[in-house]
Structure 1
C-alpha cells in the first residue's frame, strides 16, 4: 500500500504529468458527466419517460462529479425539494472535498 501511495505521489516527476492537472481534469470530466446526467433526468421527468435512478446520480456525485451535480441542481431546479437526496449529495460533496484536501496535502508535503 505504501509503495502504491509513493508511486502516485511521485507520478508528477514524469514529463508532462502534473498531479494537480490530472486531478482537475478528472473532476472536470466527472462534473460534466454528472451535469449532463442531471439535465437528462430533468428532461425525462418532464417528458414522462424512464428516469435515471437517484443511485446513479448520487454515484456520479460521489466519484467526483459533485460540482457538476450541484450546478445542475441549481440550473435545472432538479431534485432540490427531495431533502434526503440533498442531504446525501451534501455528504458526497464533503467526502470529496476532504479527500481532495488530503491528497493535496500529501502532494504538498513531498
Structure 2
C-alpha cells in the first residue's frame, strides 16, 4: 500500500474519531457529566482533525455559540490543508527539512 493511501486511511480514521468526540461531548453536556476540555477539542482539530471538528460542530450543533470554534474550526481546516500540502510538497521534491 502506498504511503499516500496509508495517510488517507489514517486521516479519515482520525477525523472520524474527532467527529465522534464532538458527539460524545455534546451528549455528556446534556447529561451534566464530565466534559472534554475545549482546549483538547481544539488541539484534536489542529492535529489534522479540522474536518472532523467542524463536521461534529455542525451535525451535533455543538459549540456553535463559541467564537473560538465558529472561527477556529474553519481556520484549522485551512491550516490542516496547508500542512498536508507542505509535507506532500516537501516529500515529493525530497526537501531536506529535518
What TM-score bracket applies, with the shorter chain setting the length?
A: 0.7 to 0.9
> CA separation in 2, counterparts of 1:33 and 1:65?
8
The RMSD of aligned alpha carbons is: 1.6
Which stretches in structure 1 are left out of the alignment for 5+ residues?
1-15
- TM-score normalised according to structure 1 size: 0.75
Structure 1 residues 40-92: Cα deviation after superposition (integer angstroms, max 9, x where no partner): 00001111111111011111111111111111111101111111222222332
Corresponding residue of 2:36:
52
Is 1:75 matched up with 2:59? yes
Q: CA deviation at 1:33?
A: 1.1
- TM-score normalised according to structure 2 size: 0.83
Which aligned runs of 4 or more in structure 1 are off by greater than 6 angstroms? none
Which stretches in structure 2 are left out of the alignment for 5+ residues?
none
In terms of fraction of residues, the more helix-rich structure is 1
In the alignment, which of 69, 74, 80 is matched to residue 90 of structure 1? 74
> Which stretch shifts more, 75-84 or 36-45?
75-84
Greater Rg, structure 1 or structure 2?
A: 1
> CA separation in 1, counterparts of 2:69 and 2:52?
15
